[in-house]
Structures are given as structure tokens and as C-alpha cells.
A and B are shown apart, each in its own frame.
Chain A
Amino acid sequence: MNGILRVKNVTQVFESGSGPRRDRVTVLKDIDFEVREGEFVSIIGPSGCGKSTLLKIIAGLITPTEGSVEVPSAAAPGSLPIGFVFQESVLLPWKTALGNALFPFEVMGKDTKAREPGVRDLFRLAGLSGFENYYPKQLSGGMRQRVSIVRSLSYDPALLLMDEPFGAIDAITRDSLNDILLDMWRETKKTILFVTHDIAEAVYLSDRVIVLGTKPGRIIEIAMVDLDRPRNEDTKLDPRFYGLVKKLRERLK
């Protein structure tokens, strides 16, 4: 396949409670789409519509009730197919930023020293040069998320999944993090699947935007984002930008 990711007819039903009061919630229904190599695709939708669940199914953390997901196999020995960035930075507080970024290799039992130069390069891309030996408690929220992103890219995954990574960050920092993310994406040529509730953010970052509904969560639309790259401040002044944002907002109602 020339696509990196293939989601086939995924349906996810959650059950809670027991006996006569058993609740069945269809969180996702018939989700079907494809992501091509090097694409940046966003998933947007109202809260509770299962976007995070979908991402976790793709990551292999949840087995879908129905349907299947095809992900690429590991590119090379010493790497894993998927990288995941959470909303919380999920760093190990007793390790330095560099230690955290090298942690996947520690888990895989690979030589971390050998991997250091590559990771340091990622730090540079993320604008964190000089902060490698800082501890998480010494870093701001935005910086911690950047470390988390570096960590997820450190082992060269074929697919990067991001679950509202900037959701807990303030708006100003978020804008600069968006640009840093685009820089890193451009340099590393990764395939990214990005979940967010911020429509403008999704349009700014992506090639395509998947709009998810709720109750049940199904794909309402997959929109092409036709704006020029590289994206910057001017992109946001482009009438096509907020035209698309407005249109997507309508679709979500």
C-alpha cells in the first residue's frame, strides 16, 4: 500500500454497568479512511466524540469492537512503527530532557549513547538546544510538550499520533508550538495524525481534516486544505483559511 495507515470500518462500542441497566454507547461507527505517506491529517470533533478513542485504537492500545487498522510495520530494527504524543507530556520527572527523549531506546535495550546525536538534532529542530540537561520541573509546559514530541520522534516511527498535544497550553504558546511542529514535520518528513478540538489549529496545520460527529462518532466529512505551504502568519489572513474554518464549524453543528 502506498498509504501509511488504513482504518477499515472501525466501530467501537463501550459497555458500562451490568444487568438490566447495561449501557451501550457506540463511540465510533464505521470509521473508514486512509492516510498517505508524509501527510499531515487532523481529526476534529466535539468533546466526547471519540477522537481520542480512535487514536488509541490506531495506536493499538484498544482493540476495536469491529473493523481493523493497518499500520506500517517497524521501519528498521531499533524502531517502532508508531509514535504517540499525549495531552500531558508524560515525562519521567527524574530524568533530564535528553534522558526522557532517549527513554524509548532504554526500553528497547538499544545503545542510548549512539542515538544521542540524532536526538540532539531533534532538540535543535524543536528549539530546545541547550535545554537537554534540564529536568522537567525546570521546563515550562510548552517545553515539556516539545520534549515529548522529540521523544516520540526519536525512534523514527513511520506514523506519529498526537492526541490534543497542545490542548493544555495557552493560546500564544500554542501558536508558536504549531509552527515548530510544522518545521519538524517538514524536516523529518513524518506522517502525522493530529487530534484537536481547535478547528483553526487543524486547518492551519493539515493537508486534510477529518470531521467526526458525535452520538455515534462517524465521519461527517473529509475536507482538503488547499492552502499554500509553508504555512505562516499570512496563511491566517487568507480568506480561504477562515472560510474553511467557518465551513467546518458549520458541519460540526
Chain B
Amino acid sequence: MKRRDLWIRFLSFLAAAAAVAGWHFYVTLGKVPAFILPGPEAVARQLISMVRDGSLLFHMGITSAGIVTGFLIGSVLGFVLGYFLAKSRVLEAALFPYLIAVQATPKVTLIPLFVIWFGLGLASKLLLVVLSAFFPVLLNTVIGFRSVPREYYELMRILNATERQMLYKVKLPLSLPILMAGLKVAMVQAVIGTIVAEWVSGKSGLGYLLVYGSTQFDSRLLLAAIFATTLVGLFFFWIIEIIESRALFWHESKIILEEGL
């Protein structure tokens, strides 16, 4: 089937090239005004100049730093709390429906409140990203630990294992698939949170660039910023996927349908 795969790859590439070509021709032949939709070369030139003067990398760096910091803090907190929550059946049962409810609400609505409280700086942005990553990880940690089949507990008791052995050798690895799914959702939420936070409160970062390009009606800048944001979003999601495939090499492939915003 190798030949067929190559052929499919080629077709995909062809489709991409056709899309770019279509874009170019639509803009030039349709005489679309540049401020509405610039052509691919204009956007490319914008990107290159922004790379040259360092501004693109600067803003990408700011956004990336926000994403990574918020994601890490939120995930660790979510995991630790999830672990303790899973220990208490009562507490877990009581809080679980609320956790699910909170998951259904958009956390980005909080950014205006945070800015009023904590000002325009880093604190409000970080708080939002942390919260965005925190809840999915917390929820999935609890679900993951819950999902360990009873027989594994029984096996460990027969083997006279300690609580700690139970956690590290059995509970954690078995919950890993669900945990990783939670990390993926958390990463997507962290990216969104960072961008929206930069929209509202930032003076730098890709979110800020998006607002700036929009208010200045600079559609080349806007498109360049969109391109860069897409790149950053894809990159970090890809990192989590790599971690997942390494950690879950043993896992029977399931259909895990991801969500994206």
C-alpha cells in the first residue's frame, strides 16, 4: 500500500497548492481590495518582514510563554487536587456534578473581571490560563482514577501491595489514557485562554496583535497574526500528542474524538 499512500500524500499536497492558488487568483482576478483580503504573497511578505525585525518571534514568544506557564500550573494543580478528591468517595461524589457543570461554561468570560481586579498585567492573564487548564485536568484525573477496574485493587491486595505501590504501579498508569485526553483538552483551553486574555488585557502577544491588526484595519498584519496563532496552537497540541503516544504505546487504539475551538 506504500504506493497508494504516496499518491494520497501527493493529492493532499496538490489540494493545498490548489487552495493557495485559488486564493491568489480570487484576489487578483476578483480585484478584491487589499484591506479586505490580501493575496498570499502579501501575507507571506508581511510574515517575512515580521520575522526579520523580530516582532513575530517576540509576540509568539510572549503567547507561548503564557500558554506553557498557565498550562503547567493549571495541570499540576488539577492533577494534585484530582488525586486528593479521588481519595474521598463522599467529597468526590458531592463535587463531581459541579465539576462537570463548570466544564460546560466558558472560562474566558472571567477575563474582564480579572482585569478589573488585578489590572492589565500578567496576573489576570495567567490566572485565566491556569483556570482554563485546571478544570479539564481535575475532572479527568477524577474520572481516570474512578475508571480503574475493581479487579486491579483486588489483585494488589492479594499481592500485599502498599497504597503507594497501588498508586504508582497500577492506578496512575491505568488512568493515563483518560488523563492524557484531559491534558489535550486543557492545552486547547489554555491556548484559547491565552489569546483571549491578550485580546483584553495584553500589550503584547499574538492576541494583542490580532486586536491591533483588527482596529488598524491592517488585514495583512491580521492574517499574519492568524497564521502565527494557528502555528502556535498546532505546535503545542502536537507536543501533547507526542507525549501521549510515547506514554501510551501500550494502549489499544481507541477512537478519541477531540474537540477544537
Chain A residues engaging chain B, CB cutoff 8 angstroms: 56, 59-61, 80, 82-84, 86, 88, 90, 92-95, 103-104, 106-108, 135-137
Residues of B near A136 (CB, < 8 A) are 250
Cβ distance B252 to chain A, nearest Cβ, rounded Å: 5
Whether the Cβ atoms of B252 and A107 lie closer than 8 Å is no
Q: How far is the CA of A103 from the CA of B173 in the complex (A)?
A: 14
Partner among A59, A83, A107 whose Cβ is within 8 Å of the Cβ of B161: A107
Q: How far is the CA of A40 from the CA of B161 in the complex (A)?
A: 28
Whether the Cβ atoms of B154 and A56 lie closer than 8 Å is yes
**Total number of residue pairs linking A and B with CB closer than 8 Å:** 52
Whether the Cβ atoms of A92 and B151 lie closer than 8 Å is no
11 A-B interface contacts by CB (under 8 A): A59-B154, A59-B158, A61-B154, A84-B158, A86-B154, A92-B173, A95-B250, A107-B156, A107-B159, A108-B159, A136-B250
Residues of A near B252 (CB, < 8 A) are 93, 137
Which A-chain residue is minimally distant from B176 (CB atoms)? A94
Whether the Cβ atoms of A90 and B151 lie closer than 8 Å is yes
Is there a chain A Cβ closer than 8 Å to B160's Cβ?
yes
Chain B residues engaging chain A, CB cutoff 8 angstroms: 149, 151-152, 154-161, 165, 169-170, 173-174, 249-252
Cβ distance B112 to chain A, nearest Cβ, rounded Å: 45
Partner among A82, A93, A104 whose Cβ is within 8 Å of the Cβ of B250: A93
- With contacts A90-B149, A90-B152, A137-B250 known, is A61 near B157, CB below 8 A? yes
Whether the Cβ atoms of A104 and B170 lie closer than 8 Å is no
Q: How far is the CA of A251 from the CA of B141 in the complex (A)?
A: 49
Which A-chain residue is minimally distant from B162 (CB atoms)? A107
The 6 A-B residue pairs whose C-beta atoms are closest, nearest first, are: A94-B250, A90-B151, A107-B159, A93-B250, A107-B161, A84-B158
Q: A80-B159, A95-B250, A103-B159 are in contact. List 18 more A-B contacts (CB 8 A).
A: A56-B154, A59-B154, A83-B158, A84-B155, A88-B149, A90-B149, A92-B170, A92-B173, A92-B174, A93-B250, A93-B252, A94-B173, A94-B250, A107-B156, A107-B159, A107-B165, A108-B159, A137-B250
Partner among B151, B159, B169 whose Cβ is within 8 Å of the Cβ of A88: B151
Q: How far is the CA of A84 from the CA of B160 in the complex (A)?
A: 12
Q: How far is the CA of A39 from the CA of B170 in the complex (A)?
A: 33
Whether the Cβ atoms of A86 and B155 lie closer than 8 Å is yes
Which B-chain residue is minimally distant from A106 (CB atoms)? B169
Cβ distance A104 to chain B, nearest Cβ, rounded Å: 5
Whether the Cβ atoms of B154 and A108 lie closer than 8 Å is no
Residues of A near B174 (CB, < 8 A) are 92
Cβ distance A51 to chain B, nearest Cβ, rounded Å: 15
Q: How far is the CA of A136 from the CA of B155 in the complex (A)?
A: 17
Residues of B near A93 (CB, < 8 A) are 250-252
Q: How far is the CA of A136 from the CA of B174 in the complex (A)?
A: 14
Residues of A near B170 (CB, < 8 A) are 92
Q: How far is the CA of A135 from the CA of B250 in the complex (A)?
A: 7
Cβ distance B163 to chain A, nearest Cβ, rounded Å: 12
Q: How far is the CA of A54 from the CA of B160 in the complex (A)?
A: 20
Whether the Cβ atoms of A80 and B173 lie closer than 8 Å is no
Q: How far is the CA of A10 from the CA of B174 in the complex (A)?
A: 35
Q: Please indicate which of the listed interface residues A95, A104, A107, A135 has the most CB atoms of chain B within 10 Å of its own CB.
A: A107
Residues of B near A106 (CB, < 8 A) are 169
Residues of A near B152 (CB, < 8 A) are 90
Q: How far is the CA of A123 from the CA of B160 in the complex (A)?
A: 24
Whether the Cβ atoms of B154 and A84 lie closer than 8 Å is yes
Residues of A near B173 (CB, < 8 A) are 92, 94
Residues of B near A94 (CB, < 8 A) are 173, 249-250
Residues of A near B251 (CB, < 8 A) are 93, 137
Residues of A near B160 (CB, < 8 A) are 80, 107-108
Q: How far is the CA of A93 from the CA of B251 in the complex (A)?
A: 7
